[in-house]
Structures are given as structure tokens and as C-alpha cells.
Structure 1
Amino acid sequence: MTETTPYDADRARFTRQALARLVLCDDAVSVADGAAALVATENDPDTGPGGRVSQAFQLIELAERALAAAVIYERERGSSWAEIAQYMGLDAAEAEARFIPSLEGWNRAFDVPYRLDETGRKRIPQLPTAAYDPACACEHLDRWARLQRIGTEAVSSGLVMAAQEKEPSSTTP
């Protein structure tokens, strides 16, 4: 599957480190929004028995996904397994064993960025959405950060971008 997609050129402007950071940002927004949903009490009467537990449990699942994204980001920026493990109370081998499936999936998605659905006609991205369409992710995440009063370009301004190819200069006699 070597056909191009409309997002390939946008994605090429970003380093893998930047793409991993966008995925982490996107997952962090999901965690923040999930936690915020637990704050309001006005809809408690409309929530069935166990409903808030369900929301809190989903928050744990979102946090686990964000943790995996953080590990992928740290590996992309050159952190060792020992450096990552120290913050989780694990040794390097335990951290690697826990997160290597996520890292392998991330790496594989760059080789095969999409798969065909069961009909063979629709492409399904294998990269997380924020990495597959990073231009849209930057716009969305910067907007979210503005609304949260974190900063104007709090996400996109700090990304490590790929080196741009220089256009050959024309020499005019």
C-alpha cells in the first residue's frame, strides 16, 4: 500500500518526535476533558447507578493511553528505558516489556500507515489521528489550549519540525 494520502505532505513536515508529542497532547486533552466531566454535579440525578464509577474508570483507561503515548514520545526523543522506568517505579526491563507492544505498533504504522477495511475499498489509518493528520491536530489542540487559557500556540509552537528542503536558488546573470 504505497498510495499517497492527502495528509502525507503535512505529516512530512513533522519529525516523528513531533508527531508523538501531538499524540500525547491529544491524549492529555482526552484525560482533561474526561476529568472535567466528573466535576459538575448538576446532572447527577440523570446518571444511572454506577455511572460516575464508569466515568472514573474510563478516566483510568484514558490515562493509561496517555502514559503509553508519553513513553512513545520519550523514546522518540531519545530517552532510555532506564530513564523512563525511574518515574514508574519499575526497572528498565519491566518498562520495556510493558510498553514495547505500543512502541512496535507505533513503528509499524509508519511502514504501513493504513490498512484496507473488509471491503478492500476504504483505508483505515494505523497512526493515531493526531499523527496521521498533524495539521488538523495542531489547529484543534492550539484552539483547546486557548480556550483553557494555556497559551495562544501552546502546542504547535514547541514542536520539533522536520528540516525543510531548500529550493534551489536561481542564479540570474
Structure 2
Amino acid sequence: MSPSKCLLIGLIMIAATIGILLAMGRMPICECGYVLFWTPTDDVSGTSQHIADWYTPSHIIHGFLFYWFFWLVLRKRPVGERALGAIFIEAAWEIVENSPWIINRYREETMAVGYAGDSVLNSTFDIWWMLVGFFFAWRMPVWLTILAAIAFELLALWVIRDNLTLNVLMLTYPLDAVKAWQGG
């Protein structure tokens, strides 16, 4: 498949995700009525509502992981086709993540008591951030990608007491001690 065809299919997949999220009743942008590039830590209500926040590194790490996964299982396929697989998985996660079941799970089992789901803008950019990570992993040495993932995880852990590792843990096997520590 040509790179331009991969790009077109990828854009269609992202547009379809936007359509599904809107049909699910997700807010297009933050209820605050404006768009920020970065949501600072003191704007808890703005988390998952704007272009980037402290969970953006997790989506970049998704891209690292998806790149390596598709390199393992579809090594002979062009990188554009592997990127389509990554878009599909990330888009599916954005849809599931914004379902009532996962939103309620976050509220009950994690420190995100007031979590209301992502805005469509944030979900869309989460897919783009994943692609940043995917193409970073494609072009950079493995050691640098691993170092970047570790740095992202430690930075988010330090700043917001959460990261991809804790997010997965708390969604799949919640621990009261971790929840208490995260609540600070």
C-alpha cells in the first residue's frame, strides 16, 4: 500500500473515531469553551479536555509499544500499514475509554474521582500523540525509545502521581494503597 493511501485511510479512521465519539455524546471541546495546548497540573477539570496534558506521555508510550508490537508481527509490511494498525488500536481505546463503563471504573478505582471522560479534541490528539510515539520509535534507536518511556513514566509519576503503568494497574487490579498514595 502506498504511503498516500495509508495517510488517507489513517485520516478516515481518525474522522470515523471523531464521528463515533460525537455520536456517543462526547463534548467536542472543553466545557470551559476554550482550547489550550497544555493543561497545567492545577487545572484538574481541564485534564483530558485540551490538546495535551500530563497523560499525553502515556499516549506517546502507546505509540512506542504499538510500533514494537507491529514490528514483531508485521515486520515485512511497510511502516505506514503498521501505523494503521496502531491507529486502529488507539482509536478503539479512545472509544472504549469514553464509554460509561470505563469512565465509572476510573471514578471508582482510581484517583480520578471527578473524571467525566475526554473531549473529542483530546481523544483526537491522543491518537496524534500516539503517532508521534510510533514514528519516534520507528526512527530512533531502541535504547533511546526505552529511555524516553522511562523518563515519561517517572516525570508523570513525580508531577501527578500517575502514569501509564499505574493507570493500567489501577484499571485492572486496583490497590487501595496505591489509590491512597495517589490521593496524596
TM (norm. structure 1) is: 0.31
Which structure has more helix as a fraction of its residues? 2
TM (norm. structure 2) is: 0.29
Q: For the pair shown, which has the larger CA radius of gyration, 1 or 2?
A: 1
